[in-house]
Structures are given as C-alpha cells and as structure tokens.
C-alpha cells in the first residue's frame, strides 16, 4: 500500500508542470479572445467603436463643399484649394484663415498635399478626376457627388464616420431637414421657381437635377426647368439659354444672381413677377451644408 501511494505521489509530481502549462495556455488564450472581443487585434489596433478625436484627423479638402462639411462637423482641414479667382463664399468667410492652400482646384499641388501628411483627402469626382490615382497614393481619398443636397448630406454622414463626428452630422442634418419643412410651409403648392444666372444677355438656368434644383424642389416649389444641362467647360449643372426662352418656363419666382441689374434693364425684366436676388457663390458654387442652410433661410424669409 505504501509503495502504491509513493507511486501516486511521483506521478502527481510529474503531472504538475504539464498541468501548470495547460492552465497558463488557457489563461493566455482567454486574454487573447477578450482582446479580440473588444476590438484589440494582435497588432495592437484600436478597439472597434473607439471614439476618434475629430481634431486629430488631418484632412485635405479639394472643394468648397468639403470645406463647408468639415466646418459643420467641427473639423479644421490642414489643406484647402482655391477655385479660380473667386474668394471663399460668404458661408466660409473668416473660417479658413491660417489653413494651407494647396493651389487651384483643377491642378492642386501634389507635393504640398503630400507634405501635409493627410489621413484623408476629399476630392471632386470631376475637377480632380485626372489625378485621382496620384491622390490615392498619398493618402486614402474619397470623391463624392453633389448633384443633390441629399447626396451632399449623405457624403457628410460618411465623412463624419471617418473623422469621428457622427453626432455632429446628425445635428446638422436634423437642422437642415427642419428648415426644409419650414420652407414647405411657406411655399404655396404649384409655385414654379428656378435658380438663374444672367450674364451678357444669356440665361444660365440650373437644371432640376442639381444641388440648387433639388433644394428648391424639396422646399415645395415646382422646378421651372426640367431639361438637360449644356456641355460647357465648367461642367456645372446649368443649361445655357437665350432670354426668349424665359417666358416658356412660366416662373412665379426667379432666384437670380450675377448681373441682376442688367437683367432688370433687359426686355425680359417683367416676365417674372417675383425676383429674389441671391449671392452667387452661396447659391451656385458652394453646394455644402452651410450653403443649404443659407439658401433655405432666404427661401423661408422671402
């Protein structure tokens, strides 16, 4: 009997190291699984769902609408573009001071962009189409459309997820949708309207499928031009028309920019009874959430 007990003790002493190793391995595996469950990868990546700090994300914005989106989200870009000789629209006045310019929108300086070490580049699918691959070599690059205000708001939501500003995006969207509802209360059903630029006896009429057209439609207007846009160099969503086409549009309200005084001295000044002068950059070039709010405010108040 004593010999048997001695053999058991020897066997137990031999098993002890193996059992300890198994327990250690089990604990290590449990820790790894716990880390995976919380989003911690083997390479020490950040936890899934971990809140980003919007102020720490370095973004280069290659269009005014992105500058508006970022400002609305509380994110200051590290680089912005210039668009022709135009100053920033009123919606961005004083909001871009101290930010590095990366050159003109059509030909931004890639070396300057790279020197800014961006985490994200926001590009125009039209203006920067020819350099999209080069931009993507510098940093992750996204290009969003702007043919409707809802498309721009969807872009804002997507950008918000990339910079950690989802709550702010929800707040901005809710505010804009509230103003759309208020505008619809002001606009009498059946009222026809359009956004028109007048220059050198030529009408530049924004088409229905455009940022401005979609916003006026959402505000309750019947949009006054449902044709195709013209193949002009700027690639904007406008139809270039002669003034004699205006009576056929049967507009009740014209939102007019550019040479507003020239239009009022033209033969077509009395064709539309209600003419609302608007700021060109806000209504025709900005195409961001700040512009949408400014446009809706003017619709509501006019």
**229 neighbors 204 (Cβ within 8 angstroms):** no
Say if residue 197's pLDDT is above 90: yes
Q: Which two structure tokens, joined as six digits, stand for 120? A: 């994200």
Long-range pairs for 260-264: beta carbons < 8 A, 24 or more residues apart = 260/198, 262/198, 262/199, 263/198
Beta bridge partners of 222: 192
Say if residue 233's pLDDT is above 80: no
Q: Which of 252, 222, 258 is nearest to 240 (CA)?
A: 258
Q: pLDDT exceeding 70 applies to what percent of the chain?
A: 81
Give the pTM.
0.81
Say if residue 252's pLDDT is above 70: yes
What is the spatial distance between Cα 233 and Cα 251, in angstroms, rounded to a whole number?
Answer: 27
Beta bridge partners of 73: none
The pLDDT value given to residue 172: 98
Q: Which of 180, 212, 168, 171 is nearest to 70 (CA)?
A: 168
**113 neighbors 132 (Cβ within 8 angstroms):** no
Q: How confident is the model at residue 104 (pLDDT cuts 50, 70, 90)?
A: very high
Q: pLDDT exceeding 90 applies to what percent of the chain?
A: 70
Say if residue 238's pLDDT is above 80: yes
| Predicted confidence (pLDDT) per residue in 142-176, tens digit | 999 999 999 999 999 999 999 999 999 999 999 99
Domains of the chain: 59-177 (3.40.50.1980), 186-301 (3.40.50.1980)
CA distances from 155 to 78, 102, 146 (A): 19, 22, 9
**254 neighbors 196 (Cβ within 8 angstroms):** yes
Mean pLDDT of the chain: 85
Q: Which two structure tokens, joined as six digits, stand for 221? A: 């207007």
Mean pLDDT of 175-198: 97
Q: CB count, 10 Å around CB of 245?
A: 14
| Predicted confidence (pLDDT) per residue in 11-54, tens digit | 444 444 444 444 444 444 444 444 444 433 333 333 344 567 88
Mean pLDDT of 209-238: 88
The pLDDT value given to residue 29: 44
What is the spatial distance between Cα 119 and Cα 101, in angstroms, rounded to a whole number?
Answer: 17
3-state per-residue secondary structure call for the chain: CHHHHHHHHHHHHHHHHHHHHHHHHHHHHHHHHHHHHCCCCCCCCCCCCCCCCHHHCCEEECCHHHHHHHHHHCCCCCEEEEECCECCCHHHCCCCCCCEEEEECCCECHHHHHHCCCCEEEECCCCCHHHHHHHHHHCCEEECCCCCHHHHHHHHHHHHHHHCCHHHHHHHHHHHHHHHHHHHHHCCCCCEEEEEEEECCEEEEECCCCHHHHHHHHCCCEECCCCCCCCCCCCCCEEEEEHHHHHHHCCCEEEEEECHHHHHCCCCCCCCCEEEECCHHHHHHHCCHHHHHHHHHHHHHC
What is the spatial distance between Cα 144 and Cα 153, in angstroms, rounded to a whole number?
Answer: 10
Q: Which residues, at least 6 apart from 1, have a Cβ–Cβ distance to it below 8 Å?
A: none
| Predicted confidence (pLDDT) per residue in 70-100, tens digit | 999 999 999 999 877 777 888 999 999 999 9
What is the spatial distance between Cα 87 and Cα 176, in angstroms, rounded to a whole number?
Answer: 25
């Amino acid at each position: 009997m004593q010999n048997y007990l001695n053999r058991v003790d020897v066997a137990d002493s031999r098993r002890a190291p193996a059992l300890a190793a198994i327990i250690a391995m089990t604990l290590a595996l449990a820790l790894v699984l716990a880390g995976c469950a919380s989003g911690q990868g083997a390479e020490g990546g950040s936890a899934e769902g971990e809140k980003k700090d919007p102020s720490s994300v370095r973004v280069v914005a290659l269009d005014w609408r992105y500058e508006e989106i970022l400002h609305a989200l509380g994110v200051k870009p590290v680089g912005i573009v210039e668009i022709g000789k135009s100053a920033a629209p009123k919606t961005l006045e004083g909001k871009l001071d101290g930010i590095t310019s990366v050159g003109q929108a059509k030909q931004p300086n890639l070396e300057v962009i790279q020197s800014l070490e961006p985490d994200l580049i926001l590009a125009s699918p039209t203006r920067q189409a020819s350099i999209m691959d080069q931009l993507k070599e510098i940093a992750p690059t996204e290009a969003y459309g702007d043919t409707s205000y809802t498309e721009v708001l969807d872009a804002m939501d997507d950008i918000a997820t990339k910079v950690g500003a989802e709550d702010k995006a929800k707040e901005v969207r809710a505010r804009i949708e509230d103003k759309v509802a208020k505008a619809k209360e002001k606009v009498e059903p059946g009222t026809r309207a359009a956004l028109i630029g007048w220059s050198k006896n030529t009408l530049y009429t924004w088409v229905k499928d455009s940022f401005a057209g979609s916003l006026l439609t959402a505000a309750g207007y019947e949009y006054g031009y449902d044709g195709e846009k013209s193949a002009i160099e700027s690639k904007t969503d406008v139809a270039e028309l002669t003034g004699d086409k205006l009576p056929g549009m049967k507009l009740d309200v014209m939102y007019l920019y550019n040479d507003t005084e020239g239009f009022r001295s033209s033969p077509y000044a009395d064709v539309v009874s209600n003419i609302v002068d608007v700021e060109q950059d806000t209504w025709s070039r900005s195409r961001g959430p700040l512009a949408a709010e400014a446009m809706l405010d003017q619709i509501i108040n006019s």
